[in-house]
Amino acid sequence: MKILVTGASGQLGSTFKALESKGLANELDFDFKSASELDITDFDAVRNVLVASNYAYCINCAAYTNVDKAESENDLAYQVNVTGARNLAMNCNESNTILIHISTDFVFDGFLNTPYLEEDIARPIGFYGDTKYKGERAIVGNLEEHFIIRTSWLYSEFGHNFMKTMVRLGTERDELAVIYDQVGTPTYALDLAQVVLHIINAHSIDYGVYHYSNEGVSSWYDFAKTIFDLYNLDVDLKPIRSEEFPTPAERPKFSVLDKSKIKNTFNLQIPHWKDSLAVALNAYSKIKID
């Protein structure tokens, strides 16, 4: 099967590349396209790539993900997250390609105190989350054969993410303050990528919206503390409220995702976030040494 991967230079796209290079992608034929190689906001460019090739799947890892900058860069965020998603959906429909699209927990407002189900009402509180939800609706409205996977707090040994930032800051500073009143679940990109491959290899037609993160619950403070402990960094870590660290974009206070649907549909065993974090930090250590 030929698989198109958009946004291939980001952390999830890089994870798929790593899986392929290690021979762990079950000999799927990947075609990786970075943003410079395929601009998903350009309808004709997307059409030329999809219609000209016999792709069985398109994995859309392309996204505008800077939550704070999205508040001021409205047009760019909208073009990538909404127009780009629509372009992919319309052209996947024409080329008979199944679209696997990565979305986010930021489609929810964070006012619940129980894990979010796929059918819970999306009420984004920031422009980034709003564009991601509108991107989902653009896919649903233009393509039946799709999988939309909402995930949360994605990190890996690649790209820019919270884990790598904490390791860097933890080696530079003796003291740090991290927010403790925002709760969600860290997700290792490798685990998410393997689930995507599982869906592809299962030849599933159970299309729709799914939630995926690692198991367990964490605050950003807990996440940082565990990173420092596992990486043997001696940091005086102080918990602070969101109000003490104002940002342009408001974040959901609670965005834990209920994963029952994806676990039951695909018979998945999902690792706990702390176990996956240990794996990720070990992989990151090897990259730094090399």
Tens of each residue's pLDDT in the chain, 290 residues:
899 999 999 999 999 999 998 887 777 999 999 999 999 999 999 999 998 899 999 999 999 999 999 999 999 999 999 999 999 999 999 999 999 999 999 999 999 989 999 999 999 999 999 999 999 999 999 999 999 999 999 999 999 999 999 999 999 999 999 999 999 999 999 999 999 999 999 999 999 999 999 999 999 999 999 999 999 999 999 999 999 999 999 999 999 999 999 999 999 999 999 999 999 999 999 886 55
The reported pTM is 0.96
pLDDT in tens, 149-162: 999 999 999 999 99
CA 76 to chain centre: 19
pLDDT in tens, 152-210: 999 999 999 999 999 999 999 999 999 999 999 999 999 999 999 999 999 999 999 99
Q: What angle do CA 224, 154, 13 make, to 5 degrees?
A: 135
Query: Does 55 qualify as catalytic in the annotation?
Result: no
**Count of CB atoms situated within 10 Å of the CB of 205:** 8
Nearest to 252 by CA among 65, 112, 63: 112
CATH code for the part of the protein at 2-160+185-216+256-272: 3.40.50.720
> Which pLDDT score, from 0 to 100, does residue 288 have?
67
What ranges do the domains of the chain cover?
2-160+185-216+256-272
Q: Which of 57, 116, 128, 210 is catalytic?
A: 128
The CA–CA distances, whole Å, from 172 to 53, 177, 234, 281 equal 48, 14, 11, 17
User: Distance between CA atoms of 219 and 113, rounded to whole angstroms?
Assistant: 14
